[in-house]
Structure 1
Amino acid sequence: MSGTERDRERVDPAAAEHDSAGRVLNVLITGASSGIGEAVAERFRASGAKLFLTGRRAEPPSTLRPVERYLAGDLNDETFVAQVMDEAVAELGPIDSVIACHGLQADGALTEMEVGKALELLEANVLSVFSVLKHAVPRIREGGGQIVLVSSRLGLVGIPGQAMYTAAKGGLVMLGKGAAVELAPRNIRVNIAAPGLTETPIIEAGIQRHSDPEAYRAQRAATIPMQRLAQPSEVAEAIFFLGSPASSYITGAVLPVDGGYTAA
């Protein structure tokens, strides 16, 4: 039995996520090489969905299956974005769900951040997602589909030292809302997930740079009503809901997945 056949055999047909016509979902996920994006891919994979993944890292995620495709590159490059969409359709057929998990985080006081860094934040978190939407929408299955943009709790509130990051993530929220209204007549739903502090490799690396990592972790957790950081799998569950037919009458919504941070 080939590797492809073995992987197909592992999927439980009864658990497979289907659209309203009974088809297994074709799902495109950006930022899928690590962290939340990798967890989202795992959640859709467990549902039986067919995946096309992209990310910046040259190496594919270790969870990639032989039946799946991973394409590495820079989504700030519109030519690469168009290539991703063409190859995704060639691999999967018409797309049902697009999950945009990519982005860039950077700290910096307003008066100290260089304009180039500010532009980089806007390009990575807003303009590249605009490009994904521009090229993905024409490839979404006739009859409709769903798009999820992954923003941040800091797209909803401001904190010192993050003014440009909050501006970028807040811009992503409004991009999603505008797209939701524009695309609703085509039955393409667009929703936004706003994760809080999540135990991804990037966040963990930041914690470990402090002289007392565990004390710093506890300090950050104390700012969250639930008193802990999220697990990537918890965020992935919320994104999976928005990116599947289970949320069929929800569009233009922002779903905080932040342990109560933005409610406090």
Structure 2
Amino acid sequence: MTWPGARVVITGATSGIGVAVANRFREAGASLVLTGRRPEEPDGCRDADVYLAGDLADEGFVASLIARAVEEFGEIDALVLCHGLQGDGALEEMPLQRAAALLEANVLTVFSVVQRAIPHIREGGGSIVCVSSRFGLVGTPGQVMYSAAKGGLAMFARGAAIELAARGIRVNVAAPGLTLTPRIAEGFGRKPDPAAYTATRAASIPLGRLAEPAEIAEPVFFLASPAASYITGAVLPIDGGFTAA
């Protein structure tokens, strides 16, 4: 499916799933305003892309990001929020500061970007997609606060979907499972037996393998696009059956 001329803002666009999502929108013919924390422009940027590096916890940066998108586009067809922070840790051992950082990075920054963007998202057809996690749908030892943050993100999106429905702005959530991003591959590679560790993790997934980033990007694109014009308030697991098992 193509979406030529779509005006799209993507956060978290410098790594992993965010890169794949940006690539999918490029293939569709969209114009992109991208952001991430890395100072360098991400690989694959076209001349037509705009990239702004910054911290979404900084309200001033969020304001400048949306202002630049409005300057470029006039209005926004889709806002795709791929950024976030993962954090493992036992409930009894996690410092309050770390827990607060997880909530800020995964929920409060999304709130900040969405709140600032809403007046500029096209009414009667604009969309917002939040990228959550399978751990936002299930409880998992060692992931309590990460699950709370990603589950909170899903509920934020559902509430926003109802609040914005009268304006014709859709809000949906993609909940990826374990995905073979460069960061995950690097982490697996540091294990004493990377192949055995990868096989063990894959065996925990009903489809028996990790996702490729492009397999996450495709449904994210679908949810943002006019093909999903009657879908709002949905949380779509993209996890190889993990949350269904």
TM over 0.5: yes
Q: TM-score, normalised by structure 1?
A: 0.91
| Superposed displacement of residue 204, structure 1 | 1.4
In structure 1, the residue matched to 2:133 is: 152
Mean Cα deviation higher: 114-123 or 197-206: 197-206
Q: Is the contact made by 2:123 and 2:168 (CA closer than 8 Å) also made in structure 1?
A: no
Q: Cα deviation per residue 1:211-240 (whole Å; 9 max; x = unaligned)?
A: 111111111000000000000000000000
Amino acid at match of 1:156: L
5+ long unaligned stretches in structure 1: 1-14, 19-23
In structure 2, the residue matched to 1:213 is: 194
In structure 2, the residue matched to 1:165 is: 146
Q: Is the contact made by 1:26 and 1:93 (CA closer than 8 Å) also made in structure 2?
A: no
CA distance in 2 between partners of 1:83 and 1:173 (Å): 26
Largest Rg, 1 or 2: 1
The answer to whether residue 217 in structure 2 is matched with residue 236 in structure 1 is yes
Q: Pick from 214, 232, 235 the counterpart of residue 254 of structure 1.
A: 235
Q: CA RMSD in A?
A: 1.0
Q: Cα deviation per residue 1:41-70 (whole Å; 9 max; x = unaligned)?
A: 100100101111001111111100011110
Tell me the matched-pair count: 245
CA distance in 2 between partners of 1:253 and 1:39 (Å): 21
In structure 2, the residue matched to 1:177 is: 158
**Secondary structure in 2 aligned to 1:241?**
helix
| Superposed displacement of residue 139, structure 1 | 1.1
Amino acid at match of 2:149: A
In structure 2, the residue matched to 1:143 is: 124
- Structure 1 runs, 4 residues or longer, greater than 3 Å off: none
The answer to whether residue 95 in structure 2 is matched with residue 114 in structure 1 is yes
In structure 1, the residue matched to 2:3 is: 17
| Superposed displacement of residue 89, structure 1 | 1.1
In structure 1, the residue matched to 2:69 is: 88
CA distance in 2 between partners of 1:199 and 1:140 (Å): 32
Mean Cα deviation higher: 83-92 or 227-236: 83-92
Q: Pick from 182, 185, 202 the counterpart of residue 201 of structure 1.
A: 182
Amino acid at match of 1:246: A
| Superposed displacement of residue 141, structure 1 | 2.0
**Secondary structure in 1 aligned to 2:48?**
coil
| Superposed displacement of residue 93, structure 1 | 2.1
What's the % identity of the aligned pairs?
64
Q: TM-score, normalised by structure 2?
A: 0.98
Q: Cα deviation per residue 1:157-184 (whole Å; 9 max; x = unaligned)?
A: 0111000000000000000000000000
5+ long unaligned stretches in structure 2: none
Q: Is the contact made by 2:125 and 2:226 (CA closer than 8 Å) also made in structure 1?
A: no
Amino acid at match of 1:25: A
CA distance in 2 between partners of 1:206 and 1:155 (Å): 22
Q: Is the contact made by 2:122 and 2:169 (CA closer than 8 Å) also made in structure 1?
A: no
**Secondary structure in 1 aligned to 2:227?**
helix
